[in-house]
Structure 1
């Protein structure tokens, strides 16, 4: 979930009040993108999902998974949560490290019930005259039922976030292929190649021992 969504507006960023008493532990796990503002990083993608998890290094990571509409290959963009920024736990500063150019963004969890939906907002100031807004509706189910979406819409209406710019995320036919496997490299950094057929390991069960023809056996015993 990168904040490369661009819905421009004049003036400064709205002063939205993020969620109070946010429970970060309950927020962990996988969320499916239901609707969003236009996002450059998601053009040509489908089946977007975001996973929040603590890794062995003790840091909270955000893993955004996108599946290409054309190749059906999934790519993952990860960022580390650097803590809170001038506010409650529900304001997350995420430093993304998988884009060609690393960047960081602040995400405001406006509201969530942890089990069904989450509404997230982000705003970036553009000089003294304007800003761009980003907004997402996430759900725990890939295809959330109507009542869950109505709850999320209620939060958007509460904060007067326009639903005009929202687009529905495609969450059907989400069987994806893994990304290409990297080439096997030798210690010298050169790509390992197979020049001879004997270099290829052959399972024992595939080797068939050839038995002599019956007439040959007869000649040998006579």
Structure 2
């Protein structure tokens, strides 16, 4: 019989991508410039995320007066626009591409690592939750400044993740058609 805490984790990982062992530690964007990264990013592709189903998914990042980053995610799901508001922070000024993000006052910050970006067209983002170093849950996104990226750009982003030992087999393209 599994201990109760493990059983409680099963619904959280059932719609996610999980692997045995601890999280991989990918390289991140060198000399990351938060000011250039702020603004609107559209989700082009992602590993499955239970809380982000739907289409027309985008994220808006703006700097607040206190130095934190406002995160406003929106998606169209079940005939409604769904909004999630959160906060991102640079957790280590010496490594600003490794941000933390939270969508609840009570939740700890989750990793939000900018693996690569050119700031003007695309970005690759990775997050991972390590569960007692027994297994980990992967999250990865390919983001664009426009709703669509060229196929070769998306393939390059997938290859970049794979090179960092991140399994992209279950990555799916986000529907960005028919969006306002």
**Alpha-carbon separation, structure 2, partners of 1:7 and 1:85:** 27
RMSD, matched Cα: 2.3
1:22 Cα deviation (Å)? 0.5
Query: Which stretches of structure 1, 4 residues or longer, exceed 4 Å deviation after superposition?
Result: none
What's the TM-score once normalised by structure 2's chain length? 0.83
Task: Describe the SS at the equivalent of 1:151.
Answer: helix
Q: Which residue of 1 aligns with 2:161?
A: 156
Q: Cα offset for 1:85?
A: 4.2
1:76 is matched with which residue?
83
Q: Partner residue of 2:3?
A: none
The within-5 A match list for 1:1-222 is 6-43=16-53, 45-68=54-77, 70-71=78-79, 73-85=80-92, 88-97=95-104, 102-175=107-180
When the two structures are superposed, what TM-score results if normalisation uses the length of structure 1?
Answer: 0.68
Secondary structure of the corresponding residue to residue 41 of structure 1: coil
Report the CA distance between 1:19 and its aligned residue: 1.7
Higher strand share: 2
Larger RCO (alpha carbons 8 Å, 6+ apart): 2
Number of equivalenced pairs: 168
Contact 1:61 1:81 in 2 (8 A): yes
Consecutive unaligned residues in structure 1, runs of 5 or more: 176-222
Larger Cα Rg: Structure 1 or Structure 2? 1
